[in-house]
Structure 1
Amino acid sequence: MASVVIVEDDPSIRTALQHALEEQGHAVATSANGLGALDLVVRTEPDAVLLDLGLPDIDGLKVLAMLRGVSTVPVIVITARDDDPTIVAALDAGADDYVVKPFGVDHVAARIRAVLRRGTSAGEDPVIRVGELSIDPRARRVTLAGAEVDLTRKEFDLLFALASRRGEVVSKRTLLAEVWQQAYGGGDRTVDVHLSWLRRKLGETAAEPRYLHTVRGVGIRCAEPDDD
């Protein structure tokens, strides 16, 4: 399991999250403020950081920026701020994902697994494989059954965002923020149109999906054809 640093000033949330993640086998260290978090991350080099934005000493976005100056550790923002400018600002500042309070521990644990799958060291193979579909983020190259698939920049980014969370349902709001850095509100059509183009290039349709499955009212899930 992973080593996780929790940065949260609310002791009840911090303790509950720590105990729940430890029960799932994670090694957990905690900090109640930004300066302590920076020191903890540098000293322990964790696999992932859960970062609250409402800290007592330094704003969480500033902590995130400082973390990015010293570490590439995956950071999941956990916050009560659910406004789109804050979410976009966090992603632009280097957050790998975000979770809005209140949240379930299983949901947070799934996000941790997702960012760890997406994060690969220099010595590891960065290519994501889902069935016969291969996505190489370094070369920005996609192949299906060995044949290259010609994608636009946004189509590639959309596919990567979904494939890197293989098996998980990703909301359109998350896709809008990550792929388009776009505030949510009337933007579902943007995702739908690009998803339609992407499906066509992968040889599937919404009615007969192979890799990209719509979960009505929730989001999109990327899975192997045999997984569904």
Structure 2
Amino acid sequence: MSRTKNYTLLVIDDESQVRRFTQVTLSPHGYDVHSAESGRQGIEMGSRLNPDAIILDLGLPDMDGLEVLSTLKAWYQGPIIVLSVRDDEDSIVCALDSGAHDYIRKPFHLGELLARLRLALRNNQANQTSPIYTSGDLSVDLSSRRVALGEREIKLTVTEFELLKVLIRHRGKVLTHNQILTEVWGPKSVEHIQYLRVYVGHLRQKLEVDINKPRLILTEPGVGYRLQNLDLLKEVHSIDNASSETLLAANDSKMD
């Protein structure tokens, strides 16, 4: 079983099934799991524990999850992963624009949750300021602006490199179209989604093995893009192959 160092994790979810599942399945992987069943309790526990990461449900009995997210982001610096049955684009975009690091839809696989948690924590650590980024055969030196696939150097335009740099800086995180457009082209460009799609297409042509089946720059339909670490993808497959545990959300319960 793959273990990580001990991390404190706070799960804010009103479903006892989810709280029990995360406690039982994440603890053996090195997580000290605490849980809260309401928004106010979650905010209080977050302030007291200052956990390494937070898993947040959107449908809580006393507060809307987005309100809890905004309250936490006012002071909390760690990653917050939203876990919800809400799968409409507006909810996802709103959560990400409000500061969520990631968004996982219920039902979910244990391997996916572990991998997203591990990546979020890894990227949040101070040593992630290294100028060298690697993912599979891809190597990017942010200081020298050198990009290579294996032994082959890849030439990028200034804009292509700036786009790649933004994706690397937020690697593993789902970035909305607005977030990317603002960082690369400025706040006046947030409506130019087609412009962004063109440049993502250019990057894929240069960096992906199969442009029709991208594995590095993933599209989150209606939301934005995510830069996936191919080395981490191997971990997901290995965890999923070793475990058949899947959380089946009670779809007939109240929508959260």
TM-score, with normalisation over the residues of structure 1? 0.71
Distance in 2 (CA, whole Å) between partners of 1:12 and 1:176 is: 30
Q: Which amino acid aligns with 1:78?
A: L
Is residue 206–residue 213 contact of structure 1 (8 Å, CA) maintained in 2?
A: no
Q: Per-residue displacement from partner, 1:42-62 (whole Å, max 9, x unpaired)?
A: 221211100000011111100
Higher relative contact order (CA 8 A, sep 6+): 2
Q: Could you tell me the percent identity over the aligned residues?
A: 30
Q: Which amino acid aligns with 1:129?
A: Y
1:18 match? 23
Distance in 2 (CA, whole Å) between partners of 1:125 and 1:213 is: 21
1:206 match? 210
Distance in 2 (CA, whole Å) between partners of 1:179 and 1:206 is: 23
1:133 match? 139
SS in 1 for 2:63: coil
RMSD of aligned residue pairs (Cα, Å): 3.9
1:185 match? none
Q: Which amino acid aligns with 2:49?
A: T
Is residue 135–residue 160 contact of structure 1 (8 Å, CA) maintained in 2?
A: no
Distance in 2 (CA, whole Å) between partners of 1:77 and 1:60 is: 9
Q: Check if 1:108 corresponds to 2:113.
A: yes
Distance in 1 (CA, whole Å) between partners of 2:10 and 2:205 is: 42
Distance of aligned partners of 1:149 and 1:78 in 2 relative to their CA distance in 1, 3 Å threshold? same
Distance of aligned partners of 1:150 and 1:86 in 2 relative to their CA distance in 1, 3 Å threshold? same
Q: Check if 1:144 corresponds to 2:147.
A: yes
Distance of aligned partners of 1:39 and 1:127 in 2 relative to their CA distance in 1, 3 Å threshold? farther
Distance in 2 (CA, whole Å) between partners of 1:111 and 1:205 is: 23
Q: Check if 1:41 corresponds to 2:50.
A: no
Distance of aligned partners of 1:71 and 1:220 in 2 relative to their CA distance in 1, 3 Å threshold? closer
Is residue 6–residue 31 contact of structure 1 (8 Å, CA) maintained in 2?
A: yes
Task: Pick from 113, 117, 125 the counterpart of residue 122 of structure 2.
Answer: 117
Is residue 96–residue 176 contact of structure 2 (8 Å, CA) maintained in 1?
A: no
Q: Per-residue displacement from partner, 1:99-145 (whole Å, max 9, x unpaired)?
A: 01111222111110121122133x76343521562354xx8x74225
Question: What is the CA distance between 1:149 and its match in structure 2?
Answer: 4.7
2:66 match? 61
Task: Pick from 150, 157, 174 the counterpart of residue 166 of structure 2.
Answer: 157
Question: What is the CA distance between 1:193 and its match in structure 2?
Answer: 3.8
Is residue 58–residue 83 contact of structure 2 (8 Å, CA) maintained in 1?
A: yes
Distance of aligned partners of 1:206 and 1:37 in 2 relative to their CA distance in 1, 3 Å threshold? same
SS in 2 for 1:70: coil
Q: Structure 1: state its 5+ residue gaps.
A: 182-187
SS in 1 for 2:129: coil
With 152-161 and 29-38 compared, the bigger mean Cα shift is at: 152-161
SS in 2 for 1:5: strand
Question: What is the CA distance between 1:97 and its match in structure 2?
Answer: 0.2
Question: What is the CA distance between 1:158 and its match in structure 2?
Answer: 4.0
Q: Which amino acid aligns with 1:84?
A: E
Q: Which amino acid aligns with 2:32?
A: A
Q: Which amino acid aligns with 2:80?
A: V
Question: What is the CA distance between 1:15 and its match in structure 2?
Answer: 0.7
